[in-house]
């Protein structure tokens, strides 16, 4: 096993003990790798398990050493489960499959908590002022995904993209039309695709897909087949959900970017994120301060059950909601990334692929809405400052800025505009006409200035030459007269 050191260059500094912290991070990551190599075999009883062989025992010892915990307690936390009852604690043996799932849950928990800890401390090391009222944030996420096989990961990614698309719709479309209302201009409502029904299908309680998935995960005997059956039974009338023809457990969702078929065979497994009391108790007593700090003591109510279910999808939904609240309090600027080709080659443009990306990203819809509305808007002061040169005869009068704006537009014979309370609204292409005319006026003015300057320079040169020629003539006449005397 080889730990990469390529990313050590230019590391952030956490504290004076950065070296010790970095070593602890590497030890924890190495422990996760060793933990994944532990295998189990049947124990004395059919429903029990034990460490399989010497190789697995080596990885167990290495895991305990790196995590600085008791190896016997580690074995116990992997192969048994504690059940708290009124009479006391009952120790239940786990079979090989359950022990392997327990092992994976421990590895997943350690890695997730270490990752969260790293992100938190990196943010602290940057030194952001928590009291600052101004900030710049960059949100970079996976785009919409649709593969031959789409599982729980694609479901979550596409759910996030649906959320962001709704925010994009609200910002670009709804807010634009709200501005028309506030400026009191005449306009007709512009239809756009609203994906709220799509979000209701996924996250609405009590019968959204996530709610039904969480319910299925709470019952040990539930399978992906029972989950799919209940989903179709409760949501069969939803226009965005379809049942596939060749599978009883696959389902198709009509996303804003197109239809995606999801395979549910691993949905329950990937959504289950158990908090195991034995794992927390084991690692909270670790002699490594980093590891013990990742695992705080469990609340009293969690001790009633060794396994506390935590839904990945529900937690993801809450994080998305928090993200949306943050975005709603900002002034967003959208950057749509378009991949020109699928083979990563320069000077190659795949038309259909790019068109699909533009359609999936809502760019074509944004262009359509923009053309149907008034994409160009300027305050009267900004408009007069730029285009007042088109009506020079009025610039030095007593006209207000709105009247000057209207005079410019009427002189240019532009009809596709509206005057609001504080702004002028122009249809697509109108500002280009004004810019062309402004450029012509400025060009003519520049030529007149150049002409006047050249005339002045030529006249000055002519007067100078004339004076010089008169002086030369006078001198020559004087010489001629002297020679004749």
Tens-digit pLDDT profile for residues 262-288: 999 999 989 988 778 889 889 999 999
* Same domain flag for 166 and 153: yes
484 domain residue, yes or no: no
- Round to whole Å and give the CA distance between 287 and 60: 17
- What is residue 304's predicted lDDT score, i.e. its pLDDT? 52
CATH number of the domain enclosing 215: 1.20.58.530
Confirm whether 440 is domain-assigned: yes
Q: Tens digit of pLDDT for each residue in 112-158?
A: 999 999 988 888 887 667 677 777 778 888 888 889 999 999 999 99
Residue 6 has pLDDT above 60, yes or no: no
| 156 and 35 part of one domain | no
445 in a structural domain = yes
Alpha helices in 37-151 (DSSP H): 54-67, 71-79, 96-126
User: Is residue 1, in this structure, part of any structural domain at all?
Assistant: no
Same domain, 72 and 159: no
Instruction: State whether 173 and 238 are in the same domain.
Output: yes
**Strand stretches in 341-434, DSSP E:** 376-379, 417-419, 423-426
Residue of 439 and 300 predicted with greater confidence: 439
What percentage of the chain carries pLDDT values higher than 70? Answer: 93
Using one digit for the tens of pLDDT, what is the confidence trace for 281-292?
A: 899 999 999 999
Q: Are residues 212 and 228 in the same domain?
A: yes
Give yes or no: residues 291 and 400 share one domain: no
Report, as an integer, the average pLDDT of 319-344.
89
Instruction: State pLDDT tens for residues 34-68.
Output: 999 999 999 888 789 999 999 999 999 999 999 99
- Whether 11 has a pLDDT exceeding 50, the answer reads no
Domain edge (last residue) among 373, 389, 410? 373
**pLDDT(8) > 50:** no
Does residue 230 fall inside a structural domain?
yes
Whether residue 267 sits in one domain with residue 388: no
Which helix (H) or strand (E) segment is 260 a member of?
strand 258-262
Is position 470 within any domain?
A: yes
Kindly report, residue by residue over 75-114, the tens digit of the pLDDT: 999 999 887 777 777 888 999 988 998 999 899 999 999 9
Look up the domain containing 460 and give its range.
Answer: 375-475
Residues in Cβ contact with 171 at an 8 Å cutoff, skipping those fewer than 6 apart:
332, 334
Residues 23 and 35 in one domain: yes
Model confidence at 9: pLDDT above 50: no
Q: Is 158 a member of any domain?
A: yes
d(CA 74, CA 283): 9
Q: How many residues does the chain have?
A: 485
Check: CB of residue 240 under 8 Å from CB of residue 254: yes
Task: Give Cα 166 distance to the centre of its chain.
Answer: 13
Write the CATH number for 74.
Answer: 1.20.120.720
Q: Return the H-helix or E-strand segment holding 458.
A: helix 430-484
Domains in the chain: how many in total? 3
| Single pTM value for the model | 0.70
Q: What's the whole-number average pLDDT of the chain? A: 87
* pLDDT tens string 160-177: 999 998 888 888 777 777
For residues 412 and 457, membership in a common domain is answered with yes
Do 346 and 239 have their domain in common? yes
Q: Are residues 61 and 208 in the same domain?
A: no
414 and 442 belong to one structural domain:
yes
Q: In the listed set 373, 401, 422, which residue is the last one of a domain according to the structure?
A: 373
Q: Select from 357, 326, 319 the least CA-distant residue to 341.
A: 357
Q: Where are the alpha helices (DSSP H) in 189-273?
A: 196-203, 209-217, 224-235, 267-271
Q: Are 373 and 177 in contact (CB under 8 A)?
A: yes
Q: How far apart are CA 225 and CA 459, in angstroms?
A: 97
259 assigned to some structural domain: yes
* CATH code, 383: 3.30.70.1590
Higher pLDDT, residue 9 or 256: 256
């Amino acid at each position: 096993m080889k730990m990469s050191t390529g990313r050590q260059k230019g590391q952030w500094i956490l504290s004076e003990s950065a070296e010790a912290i970095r070593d602890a991070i590497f030890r924890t990551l190495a422990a996760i790798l060793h933990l994944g190599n532990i295998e189990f075999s049947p124990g004395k009883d059919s429903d029990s398990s034990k460490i399989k062989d010497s190789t697995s025992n080596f990885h167990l010892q290495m895991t305990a050493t790196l995590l600085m915990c008791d190896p016997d307690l580690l074995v116990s936390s992997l192969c048994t489960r504690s059940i708290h009852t009124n009479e006391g604690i009952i120790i239940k043996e786990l079979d090989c499959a359950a022990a392997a799932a327990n092992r994976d849950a421990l590895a997943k928990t350690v890695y997730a908590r270490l990752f969260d800890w790293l992100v938190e401390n990196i943010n602290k090391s940057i030194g952001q002022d928590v009291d600052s009222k101004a900030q710049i944030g960059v949100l970079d996420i996976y785009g919409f995904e649709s593969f031959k096989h789409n599982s729980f990961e694609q479901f979550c990614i596409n759910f996030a993209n649906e959320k962001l698309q709704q925010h994009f719709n609200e910002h670009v479309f709804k807010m634009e039309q709200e501005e028309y209302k506030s400026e009191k201009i005449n306009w007709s409502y512009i239809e756009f695709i609203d994906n709220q029904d799509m979000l209701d299908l996924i996250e609405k309680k009590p019968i959204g897909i996530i709610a039904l998935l969480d319910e299925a995960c709470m019952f040990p005997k539930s399978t992906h087949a029972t989950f799919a059956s209940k989903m179709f039974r409760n949501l069969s009338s939803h226009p965005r959900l379809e049942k596939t023809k060749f599978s009883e457990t696959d389902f198709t969702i009509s996303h804003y970017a197109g239809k995606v078929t999801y395979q549910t065979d691993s949905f329950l497994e990937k959504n289950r994120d158990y908090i195991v009391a034995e794992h927390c108790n084991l690692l909270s007593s670790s002699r490594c301060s980093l590891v013990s700090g990742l695992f705080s003591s469990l609340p009293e109510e969690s001790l009633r059950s060794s396994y506390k279910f935590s839904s990945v999808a529900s937690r993801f939904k809450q994080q998305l909601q928090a993200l949306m609240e943050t975005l709603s309090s900002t002034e967003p600027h959208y950057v749509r990334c378009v991949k020109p080709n699928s083979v990563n080659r320069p000077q190659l443009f795949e038309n259909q692929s790019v068109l699909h990306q533009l359609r999936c990203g809502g760019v074509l819809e944004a262009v359509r809405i923009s053309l149907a509305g008034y994409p160009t808007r300027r305050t009267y002061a900004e408009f007069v400052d730029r285009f007042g040169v088109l009506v020079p005869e009025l610039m030095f009068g007593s006209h207000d800025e709105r009247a000057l704006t209207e005079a410019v537009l009427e002189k240019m014979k532009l009809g596709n505009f509206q005057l609001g309370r504080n702004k002028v609204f122009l249809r697509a292409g109108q500002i280009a006409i004004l810019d062309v005319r402004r450029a012509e006026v400025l060009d003519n003015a520049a030529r007149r200035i150049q002409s006047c300057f050249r005339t002045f320079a030529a006249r000055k040169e002519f007067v100078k030459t004339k004076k010089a020629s008169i002086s030369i003539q006078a001198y020559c006449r004087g010489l001629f007269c002297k020679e004749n005397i």
